[in-house]
Structure 1
Amino acid sequence: MQGQNSDPTGLHRVLDDVPVLPQAAQRLDTRAELWPDETRIRVERLNLDAASFRQLERKHTNDGVTDRSAIRDEVVSIVATRGKMQNPETGSGGMLIGTVEEVGAESRLGLRVGDRVATLVSLTLTPLVIEDGLSAWDGTTEQVPCTGHAVLFGRSIAAVLPDDFPDELALSIMDVCGAPALTSRVVEKYDAPTVAVIGGGGKSGSLSLAAARLAGGAQMIAVVPTEAEATRLRETGLADEVVLADARDPFALREAVEKAGGPADVTVVCVDVPGCEGGAILATASGGTVIFFSMATSFPAAALGAEGLAADVTMLIGNGFVPGHAAQALDLVRSTPAIRTLFEGRQ
């Protein structure tokens, strides 16, 4: 393949009839042979996006019984059909860990053969081949043991796995590392802001709470859906107030945040269910910022909802990348043992 042209975005791997980026493509070329700027990874484990995994669970649950083998079979089918893991319902994918198997002569990712890495780009744009039928996965968790290969493009991102974390924990942290980095960047622009994190007991939510506090957040409000989750989060001390609310109920969410000291100057949405846009907007003060990190977020619902409410808020879609985000997230977990406890309890 040395004589063929490649594009650092991965355009050369798109098999669609029209030129689109790999994330938007219906099908990718998954051949193991590399273009000069590519890197091939021997895959060890996938981490499915939370919104995607929950949708698959809902789809394959009847009368309260979930068919885990059907979830596994659908993931295998999606990857075989599309050459990547992209849930057709949610549009989301996840990420993976593995070992660098081959590095193209023109690759600029800084990786070497034998490096164990986590990819920091979505599976929705990563050429992927599953070779074992996911036979070691029971379909009960987002983390998927896997044998196969994946390809990184010239503009892809990957991080070498740290020595002081188990693989499963490192993968969980890096899967959501964009959330605390962007939260920190936004919170720093305010003077002692009130910060509300919707889904504060989850992986991205707990990291965002810690990052916001370090960035100058004065009043930290966490919203969770159950008392059990509230109890676990209160024990960590990550939030000043932990309140219960269904994030899909805009008025209940607004009331819960206001009673806890809101409205918020910065609202961070970290839940993986649709329908949370209106409540997040109502819970945010005029001139504030809403950061949407959930792949279940609807852009039309957020944009038109804010317009219909005459809400003067800035709305950001977390794209998962901020320079230095992986190292920042790992350092947050190292310096805040309570976060590690939460993460390990969710695996």
Structure 2
Amino acid sequence: MSPPQAADPVGTHRVLEPAGVLPQQALRLDARREIWDDEVRVRVRRLNLDAASFRQLSEKHRGDGGQVRAEVLDIVRSRGKMQNPVTGSGGMLVGVVEEVGPDSPLGLAVGDRVATLVSLTLTPLVVEDALAGWDGRSEQVPTDGYAILFGRSIAARLPDDLPEELSLAVLDVCGAPALVDRVVRSYTGPDHRGPVVAVVGGAGKSGSLSLAAARQAGAYGTIGVVPHDREASLLRESGLADDVVVADARDPLALRDAVRAAGGPADVTVVCVDVPGCEGGAVLATADRGTVVFFSMATSFSAAALGAEGLAADVTMLVGNGYMPGHADLALRLLREEPGVRSLFERRL
């Protein structure tokens, strides 16, 4: 059966409701397997749920993997995509290209192993195995099904020298180190030195990559903030941060004081944790005229903006949107060049 209307490269032709919105804002997408001329269909091998979404689902169901699995299945079946209705976030996937439309601009070929670098919240998705191979207890979800990429989607071919699970974990957060790299390189401080960079959630996936990116981009000093001693030990072992401090990022004064004790306030503060309520502490930990990068789907941007206003804080706040040119290559390079990054990733896998 041929698709009934012309395709739009951003995917609006797949929106079922409500009319007039982009796929990410849609309540339901058309996930039929037949592709438009500029689309690509991918046979899905593994999903990676974003950290905020997986945490919310796990906490809601008190760690019951069966219930988590059932809810993810229900979301995909009812919405034609994976978009957590509470967090609004999704994740990304890896798979093998199954069919390529004649007008697709993505440069992919049938048989290519790829990771999608666009969110599952806007990707038409069908799960065909009822997630039978997933226990509901990890962010990575082995599955069989298919997904659709639009003319303006982004995908990266998977490298041959890295395990699929490791590549997926890195590419899921590759926007974070790319933005940190740009911010650090653009900073001009006293005596032309680089900035002091604090990464909240420094032992996590996006956090460890951000610390490595900051150092390679010329940071004057790096501070890794973690929630407890076990993660502090892992981060110190990795050698990615000049200083490691333990603080609850939801406690604004504790976070401020911990960063200051380690050589802050920070010129650049990067928030990579997957829990809400870290906005005020990140602002307080940042120097006047500094920059706060929020790279967490748990962030309340109204809380960040109004909180900074209420604190009379002269800081620039950036939202990490997950895409920058070259972000996948940068993240994979950091993984290969920084043993500490690879070690932390492999421990989490």
Structure 1-normalised TM-score?
Answer: 0.98
Are 1:163 and 2:160 matched, yes or no? Answer: yes
For structure 2, list consecutive stretches of 5 or more residues without a partner in the other structure. Answer: 189-193
Are 1:147 and 2:144 matched, yes or no? Answer: yes
1: CA distance, partners of 2:3 / 2:232: 56
2: CA distance, partners of 1:319 / 1:265: 21
Contact 1:47 1:94 in 2 (8 A): yes
Following superposition, the deviation at residue 67 of structure 1 comes to: 1.3
Following superposition, the deviation at residue 18 of structure 1 comes to: 2.3
Aligned to 2:203: 201
Following superposition, the deviation at residue 258 of structure 1 comes to: 0.3
Contact 2:3 2:34 in 1 (8 A): no
Aligned to 1:319: 321
Are 1:101 and 2:98 matched, yes or no? Answer: yes
Aligned to 1:220: 222
Matches within 5 A, 1:118-157: 118-157=115-154
Following superposition, the deviation at residue 140 of structure 1 comes to: 1.1
- Runs of 4+ aligned residues of structure 1 deviating over 3 Å after TM superposition are none
Contact 1:78 1:87 in 2 (8 A): yes
Give the length in aligned residue pairs. 343
AA of the residue aligned to 2:72: V
Question: What is the RMSD of the two structures over their aligned residues, measured on CA atoms?
Answer: 0.8
2: CA distance, partners of 1:252 / 1:69: 37
1: CA distance, partners of 2:134 / 2:4: 39
Matches within 5 A, 1:83-102: 83-102=80-99
Contact 2:45 2:95 in 1 (8 A): yes
Are 1:80 and 2:81 matched, yes or no? Answer: no
Q: Tell me the SS of whatever aligns to 2:29.
A: coil
1:245-275 Cα offsets, whole Å, 9 max, x none, are 0000000000000000000000000000000
Are 1:187 and 2:189 matched, yes or no? Answer: no
Aligned to 2:191: none
Q: Tell me the SS of whatever aligns to 1:44.
A: strand
Aligned to 1:50: 51
Percent identical residues = 70
Are 1:37 and 2:38 matched, yes or no? Answer: yes
Q: Tell me the SS of whatever aligns to 1:173.
A: helix
Contact 2:5 2:13 in 1 (8 A): no
Matches within 5 A, 1:162-311: 162-191=159-188, 192-311=194-313
AA of the residue aligned to 1:37: D
1: CA distance, partners of 2:51 / 2:239: 25
Q: Tell me the SS of whatever aligns to 1:15.
A: strand
Structure 2-normalised TM-score?
Answer: 0.97
Matches within 5 A, 1:49-68: 49-61=50-62, 66-68=63-65
Following superposition, the deviation at residue 5 of structure 1 comes to: 0.7
AA of the residue aligned to 2:166: L
Following superposition, the deviation at residue 4 of structure 1 comes to: 2.7
